[in-house]
Amino acid sequence: MGGVRVDPHGIKMHGQMVEDRVVTLLDAAKKKLGEDGVANLEGGDFSITLFGAAMGYPIAAQFAFEDVSAQKKEADEMAKKLGETALTWHQAEQSNTAK
């Protein structure tokens, strides 16, 4: 008929790759941003010559932490939805009576 071919197993594997690679790397980044000496630096930790860094660093570190958290949540959801898509497509193929 239409010639559309879908590989549910490939979709499922893609979701697993997102989980294994992307989510794992985002977890590592989030953990690194929360480590001592990264997240808890404050303005007083900089010398007077780095006034701009002293003002901007705490804000940037918080923004990075929140951004990584949001990206991790999105990647988790994407991996889950890819798995659900693969299962739904597989079930649809199995129920297809017009084969």
Six-digit token pair at 75?
A: 């990647």
Q: What is the pLDDT of residue 93?
A: 86
Which residues of the chain, if any, have pLDDT below 70? 1-2, 42-44, 49, 97-99
Q: Model pTM greater than 0.95?
A: no
What are the extents of the domains in the chain?
A: 31-90
Question: With helix as H, strand as E and coil as C, how does the chain read?
Answer: CCCCCCCHHHHHHHHHHHHHHHHHHHHHHHHHHCCCCCCCCCHHHCCHHHHHHHHHHHHHHHHHHHHHHHHHHHHHHHHHHHHHHHHHHHHHHHHCCCC
pLDDT in tens, 25-42: 999 999 988 887 777 776
Residue with tokens 């804000």: 59
